[in-house]
A and B are shown apart, each in its own frame.
Chain A
């Protein structure tokens, strides 16, 4: 079965610093998608960024970027110039390209300190 592992239950960084959240996954498939979702204190889940496994180029969305290492099955999220509004739970997620379900990791709680 596919698994998604986030090894950092909780992290804290100072505002304006750069922080990297780790995620590893396990699959024998070749075609899949990876996601990072953000859940702020309001509980509303929001898609931050997604990566297609067949694309070698790392996805970026403004201050958010990923480091996708397919061979190592690693998918880390880098947040640059962190802001107080980045305080949230971050979930890494996996989906087969042809699948209809997303598998979520347990999440990393990120605190941005003023």
Chain B
């Protein structure tokens, strides 16, 4: 299993540009998550999904959009990039969170907005 994969690993955007961060998992997990990690900070939840076709906002959703058309994929869309969106973005998945199941994380995407 590849686990959770993210592309790209690095990206530099200009202010106002848009892009999509890709995330895929091959573990047949129902739950998928997008986090951002700012320097010296913990992870903040952007959006999450409990299954195909179902998404919900996390703590910091402004400036982002998501979709979940399949169980495997959970892309994160940035519209009109701003310097405040400079961060490392992590995608994660878990089979369920009914108990204390582990979240499996991707390797992250480092995004810089100039």
Q: Which of A's residues lie within 8 Å of B, judged by CB?
A: 4, 9, 33, 35, 42-47, 50, 52, 91, 95, 97-102, 104-107
B31: Cβ under 8 A from any A Cβ: yes
- Known pairs A43-B107, A101-B58, A104-B42; A50 contacts B102 (CB<8 A): yes
Total A-B residue pairs with C-beta atoms closer than 8 Å?
53
Q: Top 6 closest A-B pairs, CB basis? A: A33-B100, A45-B105, A104-B42, A106-B42, A104-B43, A47-B102
- Known pairs A99-B97, A107-B42; A44 contacts B58 (CB<8 A): no
27 A-B residue pairings within 8 Å (CB atoms): A33-B99, A42-B107, A43-B107, A43-B108, A45-B90, A45-B92, A45-B103, A47-B103, A50-B100, A52-B100, A91-B43, A95-B97, A95-B100, A97-B99, A100-B48, A100-B50, A100-B97, A101-B33, A101-B97, A102-B45, A104-B42, A104-B43, A105-B42, A106-B40, A106-B42, A107-B40, A107-B42
